[in-house]
Structure 1
Amino acid sequence: MMLSTIFIVAGASHLVDPAKTAARLEGSPLGYLATSLAPAEPLVVLSGVALLVGGVALLVGVYTRAAALGLLALIIPITITVQIGNMAALGPLFKNVGLAGGLIFFITHGSDAFGVDAWRSARRDSRVH
């Protein structure tokens, strides 16, 4: 639950004020890697939606492994384009490294005993026996 909140809050922030986040991307030393693919603001909105959906899926425990994998696939380019090369962003850089570790845990273990995935698995197993 705690890991998911950072993605939900970040996703909401991207959607509430995309211009602010887009300006941060455009001002980053490696931001051109992302903005060479598409303009910054649509990228921010898309990433906001993905962060929000992935964070909620992780929170609820539905498609936990896929949600964690999607979030990991998203924070890698965000980390590269926004935080690498920016000495002022060392804290957020290592925050993302820590988040990646948490996501890798959920990719390998799923939601364990909590969440919709575990509930569906238990129901499926009870029908088989």
Structure 2
Amino acid sequence: MTTRPLPEAAFRVLLSLIFLVSGATHLLRPEAVAARLDGAPFAHVATALAPSTSLVLLAGVALLAGGLALLVGYRTRAAALGLIAVLVPITLTVQLAPEALGPLFKNVAILGGLVFFAAHGSEGYSADRALRLRRARRLVPALS
């Protein structure tokens, strides 16, 4: 499947912003985010693994790293898969509540964007494309 480079790059950059902001919030205000987790309907599922503040900090690092990779298009498929691995548990533990239908479906929509990049990678103005072109240029003289 081929996509147009500029719209795909815009999609990737805009999608990355939510992860960058969320990751920064997790790291800069972990107590507030942990309190929200502790008050979530299925918090016991997550906090059975580790204390809420530790989970929030770990998620913050993953969201920020994945968001940065998505932003520049570096290892886009892996970044999208990593972000899916963080987004799904957050959605299932924090967003599954009758009063959270808006945030729940926001996460479902974001998941759709991540599935796109996990399946297709990134061609438009991305580090992945630049690295592929660089490798190809190094291989061409070797074949001559």
TM-score bracket, shorter-length normalisation? over 0.9
The Cα shift of 1:122 comes to 1.1
Larger radius of gyration: 2
The equivalences for 1:26-105 within 5 A come to: 26-84=38-96, 86-105=97-116
Q: Displaced runs of 4+ in structure 1, greater than 4 A?
A: none
Flag structure 2 segments of 5+ consecutive residues without an equivalent. 1-12
Determine what percentage of the aligned residue pairs are the same residue.
Answer: 56
TM-score (norm 2): 0.86
1:110 to 109, 113, 121: 121
Tell me the matched-pair count.
128
The Cα shift of 1:127 comes to 2.5
Whichever residue aligns with residue 113 of structure 1, its letter is: G
Task: Render the CA deviation track for 1:77-121: whole Å, top value 9, x for unaligned.
Answer: 00000011x111111100110111000110111111321100011
The equivalences for 1:2-17 within 5 A come to: 2-17=14-29
Q: CA RMSD in A?
A: 0.8
Separation in 2, partners of 1:99, 1:49: 19
